Structures are given as structure tokens and as C-alpha cells.
Amino acid sequence: MPDDDAATVLEAVERDLEAIDAAMQRLDVGNYGVCEVCRTMIAEATLEADPTATRCVPSCVAA
């Protein structure tokens, strides 16, 4: 069981790193903070809570 727990944690960390890398790429190309669904700006409070957010709250609720 401990190996399963370690694998689960490792998978979560890898997902987080991928999300951070994707956010950094969006920052580099100039579309960080733009919703991938409706193309509006993601609220600052949302980005403060989750800097890797790719959708605005209304688009998340609609999904």
C-alpha cells in the first residue's frame, strides 16, 4: 500500500507541474488569463486562487 500512496502523490505532482508549465507557456505567448472556452479574461481572484486556471468561472459552471 505505501507504494500505491507514493505513486498517487507522484502522479498528482506531475499533473501540477504540467499545469504550471502550460500556464508559463500561455504567459510567454501572451494569452495567460484568457478563458480557453469563451476567450474572455479570467477574473483576477480566480487566478489568485488557481494560477493555472484555463477557464473563467461561468465557463466552468457551464461545462
Nearest Cα neighbor of 50 from 32, 38, 63 is: 32
Distance CA 37, CA 51 (A): 17
Residue 30 confidence (pLDDT) above 60: yes
Residue 5 confidence (pLDDT): 85
Q: For 39-62, how does the pLDDT look when each residue is reduced to its tens digit (9 = 90+)?
A: 999 999 999 999 999 999 998 888
Amino acid letter, 13: V
Topology at the third CATH level for domain 2-62:
Four Helix Bundle (Hemerythrin (Met), subunit A) (1.20.120)
Domain locations along the chain? 2-62
Q: Map residue 36 onto helix, strand or coil.
A: coil
Residue 2 confidence (pLDDT): 66
Residue 4 confidence (pLDDT) above 90: no
- Give 12's contacts (C-beta < 8 A, 6+ positions apart): none
Q: Find where cell 489568485 sits.
A: 48
Of residues 23 and 1, more confidence is placed in 23
